[in-house]
Chains A and B, each alone.
Chain A
Amino acid sequence: MMKNSLPVGNGLGLMKFRTMRRLLGACIGMAAGFGVMAGPIAGLTAVTAAASAAVADDRADFTFINRGEVGTLDPNRMSWMQDIRIGYALWEGLYALDGDTLAPIPGAAAKVEVSDDKKTYTFTLRDNGKWSNGDAVTTADFAFAWRRMLEEPGDYTYLFHYIKGAQAYEQAYLQDNKAADFKTVGIEVVSPTVLKITLESPCPFFLDLAAFPPFFPLNEKSLEKFKQVDPKSGRVSYGGEFTQPPNLVTNGPYRLDKWQLKVGQHLVANPHYWDAASVQSKTIDALSVDDPILGLQKYELGDVDWIADTTGEIAANLKEKGRQDVKVFPSFGTYFYSFNCKEKLPNGDKNPLADVRVRQALAMSIDRRPIVKNVTRLGEAPANLYVPPVFPDYPTPTGLPMLDGKSNADVLAQARKLLAEAGYPGGQGFPDLKIMYNTDVAEHQAIAEIVARQWKKNLGITLTLDGIEIKQFQTRLHGKDYAISRASWYGDYNDVSTFTDKYKGDSLNNDSAWVNAEYDKLLVAATLEPDVKKRLALLAQAEQILVNEVPILPMYFYVNKYVMRDNVSGIPLNPRNMVVFKKVAATHSK
């Protein structure tokens, strides 16, 4: 500032001299700065080395990144894939699923006897079944949990309606809990080891349901502390705090040791588990990682053994690099477009989509190949059917013709004819409808753009894109406040009805407002049919109606995306993402 700056020369020399001095000053200043910081930095390096050594010791035998944040571990409210996955590690239902075949195998029950009319299931528990606190697992624990499911209904309570009297009891309890009689329900505790379940009608997948988290048992004693009795009605409910460690008592291969939101769960092998000898990993860390790139980086550094469900983009990029550790395989779900089939649009105008010919024309003028090739990029199979091809004995119906580049002209001519018959020749007079999608996943917009472009080119109709926030999307989809919407469905249990039930006339999940008496009749007939083969034939007939009537336009079948190296064993590649955690292990060189 106060330096003398008398000119001691002129021209270039001075300029250079000054610039040099300034630069030198800056350098010295910065060097001094670094000098000041060098001490802390050296100290920090030593510190980080010590701290990293301390942290590295914490690694669990097996570490994986779950699909997302686990919201709840209360079997009444579990509905996300990630919740259910941890549920399988902590609990065991009466039956369990084999990871390779997905066939039901004995779990907490040692055996089951099914009556000739397929309506009564008599389960006998293992005599060495134990809770993680050492208590014996009894049939009362199942009866308690299942009764709670009806009295304090949750996301999957409707699956209990296959049990005799269950739905009636749920309603009766809601009306007047004091008058409702649980004895009317087909859940009978015959002895501490024998449980007799009576069904409304034959349900060939009941053992599959018995393995599903909503059917898990609960340890009543451990829940007692969290019991809340409504002073007015006397209704009983349980505070969800019972699911947090150290409160949670479970009967599966693992117990919950730690659970911190945004960090994950630490699971420790349950020493009281009846099959504890087969449990491969003593500890499991299930991490919650919100940023998929962070997840991949952790995996690349070897901090993580398995990424359960990475994003489509990451999986596609890894695949394109020729990486062998990305596993892409068929899933249990379908991506489709839902048509609103009501007579009137939400704004009161006549709905062209109420005409089946319009829906058929729209369905037949879509080429799915650019979608799976350019957007999803994981070799998904283009779909003209609703039920994914994962049921080996299911007689697959015939889908509407898809554009495939070969017979395009014929199919398109047919589609244009249908549209003309419906009163919109060449797309003339077709109202400006919107394609609704949620914006949290970028792929939905890319697909909507492709679909809109194809309809414009192939049918001459112009539709606008309507991308909205996910919660608003859900409300409008379920409220039938849309014309055309992106949608999807994943099955819950190993039966075709987990898909076909969605479009029952009175189904809560029927977002298309499509009602077909014949379809409903076939589904009812299938429910009553004890013969498995005939039953599947009835369901196939129903799907054929759905496919012809096009309340939905199938786009492609979903795939699952795992990332794991060869050092991981016990994680099968089945469509339902079913993992038997007691078999999971990873070898580490370190």
Chain B
Amino acid sequence: MVKFLAGRLIQFPIILAVIYVITFLLAWVAPGSPFQRTERPLAPQVQEQLKRQFHAESWHGFLLYYPPQMLKGNFGPSFNYPGRSVSQILSDGLPVSIALGGLAMSIAITIGVFIGTLAAVFRGRALDWVSLTVALLGVSVPSFVAAAVLRGVFAYHWTIFPLGRWPSGIETRLIGPLGHQFWDTLHASGFTSALSAWAGSFPQYLYAALLPAIALSLLPMAYITRLTRVSMIDVLGSDYVRTARAKGLSRPRVIFKHCLRNAILPVLSYIGPAAAATLVGSFVVETVFQIPGLGQFFVNSVQSRDQTLILGTVMTYSVLLLGLNLLVDVAYGWVDPRISVGGG
């Protein structure tokens, strides 16, 4: 296990370096000036001044200037939002994306595994067909349609949920013990009030995030439903299940205690990439609900050729993706001791 972890951790910097260089090259050769923000060309002396300011006078200068800075947590200034640093955009946007993506993944896993299990247990019966329909819809309805419909019905027609209003700063309150606000309250007024302030932010968060999270969860939920169903059917037919039943254990106990643990393995391996895809693919849902997450900056930075922001978002997402994959591999070994992640 330790050997495996060490091996992976040594790979990380190499992978990140390769990603950095490729992203940089693509961003640098893409046509269009990152400095020119409107349709009007900038005077040569203005361009020169900006190039100096962004350390972008030459490609090698730019390529070499930023990596050491990034290690220090400085991603440079944004081209498209003069006066804002990329680090600031990332630290503002990433918690929002995580808050939204986290809820979406929770919904997808809970409901997906539940429906998938029921579909396997009641294979070939009406419930199975219902689950198939849900899965089919989840896969085939694009998230911008689902998001727009949810918004139109539940936020506009029936004003149950807020219409494009993200409570400012909710994500920092939500991250709780990880965010400074929690510690500020702790210092000022004690543990209980810090805890209650933290818990109190949940309703507001759910209120704002539920609709977009549902829209975002449909696709992974569909996959998880089908994955759970297939592997559950497989497990239900195995000998130990019959033994357990013969021993006199109740059916729900057998299904949810003994079968699910094994049936969930393929689902687990899907969660890593799904979580990453949810974070990266939140662009559409963030636009439909006007949520200040990182997904919008990820896409917009490419459109505006904001080279520092492109590199910042790509590197952040890369670290997240690598981390999530590692986490899944570790969890895999933990759930199924037969699998040795040590490779030996």
Using a CB–CB cutoff of 8 Å, the interface residues on chain A facing chain B are 1, 22-23, 25-26, 29-30, 33, 44-45, 47-48, 50-52, 54-55, 71-74, 77, 79-80, 152-155, 157-158, 170-171, 174, 230, 237, 239-244, 258, 260-263, 288-291, 293-294, 297-298, 300-301, 303, 469-472, 474-476, 478, 488, 508-509
- Contact, CB under 8 Å: A73 / B83: yes
- Contact, CB under 8 Å: B207 / A80: no
In angstroms, Cα B292 to Cα A300, docked, is 22
Q: Mark B62-94, 1 if CB is under 8 A from A, else 0.
A: 000000000000000100111111000100110
- Contact, CB under 8 Å: A25 / B304: no
A-B contact pairs, 30 of them (CB 8 A): A23-B126, A26-B122, A30-B130, A44-B206, A48-B160, A48-B161, A74-B83, A79-B38, A79-B40, A152-B49, A153-B43, A155-B40, A155-B46, A241-B84, A242-B83, A244-B83, A261-B92, A262-B290, A262-B292, A263-B166, A289-B290, A291-B287, A291-B288, A297-B156, A469-B32, A471-B304, A474-B36, A508-B41, A508-B43, A509-B41
Chain A residue at smallest Cβ distance from B38: A79
In angstroms, Cα B336 to Cα A127, docked, is 79
Q: Judge if B261 is at the interface, Cβ distance under 8 Å.
A: no
- Please, which residues of chain B bring their CB within 8 A of the CB of A155? 37-38, 40, 42, 46
Chain A residue at smallest Cβ distance from B203: A47
Q: How far is the CB of B20 from chain A (nearest CB, A)?
A: 22
- Contact, CB under 8 Å: B168 / A290: no
Known: A48-B206, A240-B83, A508-B40. 20 other contacts (CB 8 A): A1-B123, A47-B207, A48-B207, A51-B208, A71-B82, A153-B43, A153-B49, A155-B46, A230-B52, A240-B84, A241-B84, A262-B290, A263-B290, A289-B164, A291-B164, A294-B163, A297-B151, A303-B165, A469-B303, A471-B304
- Please, which residues of chain B bring their CB within 8 A of the CB of A471? 30-33, 303-305
- Please, which residues of chain B bring their CB within 8 A of the CB of A74? 82-83
In angstroms, Cα B190 to Cα A567, docked, is 47
Q: Judge if B7 is at the interface, Cβ distance under 8 Å.
A: no
- Contact, CB under 8 Å: B126 / A26: yes
- Please, which residues of chain B bring their CB within 8 A of the CB of A170? 45
* Complex partner residue of B127 from A26, A73, A77, A158, CB under 8 angstroms: A26
> Interface residue tally of chain B, by bracket?
35 or more
Top 8 A-B pairs, shortest CB-CB distance: A240-B83, A471-B32, A26-B126, A262-B292, A51-B207, A47-B203, A72-B82, A478-B41
In angstroms, Cα B160 to Cα A47, docked, is 11
Q: How far is the CB of A72 from chain B (nearest CB, A)?
A: 4
Chain A residue at smallest Cβ distance from B83: A240
- Please, which residues of chain A bring their CB within 8 A of the CB of B320? none
Q: Judge if B39 is at the interface, Cβ distance under 8 Å.
A: yes
- Please, which residues of chain A bring their CB within 8 A of the CB of B286? 262
Q: Judge if B291 is at the interface, Cβ distance under 8 Å.
A: yes
Q: Judge if B159 is at the interface, Cβ distance under 8 Å.
A: yes
- Contact, CB under 8 Å: A153 / B46: yes
- Contact, CB under 8 Å: A301 / B43: no
- Contact, CB under 8 Å: B125 / A26: yes
Q: Mark B274-295, 1 if CB is under 8 A from A, else 0.
A: 0000000000001111111000
Q: Judge if B162 is at the interface, Cβ distance under 8 Å.
A: yes
Q: How far is the CB of A150 from chain B (nearest CB, A)?
A: 10
- Contact, CB under 8 Å: A51 / B291: no
Chain A residue at smallest Cβ distance from B32: A471
- Contact, CB under 8 Å: B37 / A80: yes
- Contact, CB under 8 Å: B31 / A261: no
- Contact, CB under 8 Å: A294 / B288: yes
* Complex partner residue of B84 from A33, A261, A470, CB under 8 angstroms: A261
Given contact pairs A244-B83, A263-B292, A297-B156, A158 touches B163 in the complex (Cβ within 8 A)? no
Q: How far is the CB of A14 from chain B (nearest CB, A)?
A: 16
- Contact, CB under 8 Å: A260 / B92: yes
Q: Judge if B167 is at the interface, Cβ distance under 8 Å.
A: yes
Q: Judge if B210 is at the interface, Cβ distance under 8 Å.
A: yes
* Complex partner residue of B31 from A48, A291, A475, CB under 8 angstroms: A475
Q: How far is the CB of B150 from chain A (nearest CB, A)?
A: 12
* Complex partner residue of A294 from B41, B164, B236, CB under 8 angstroms: B164
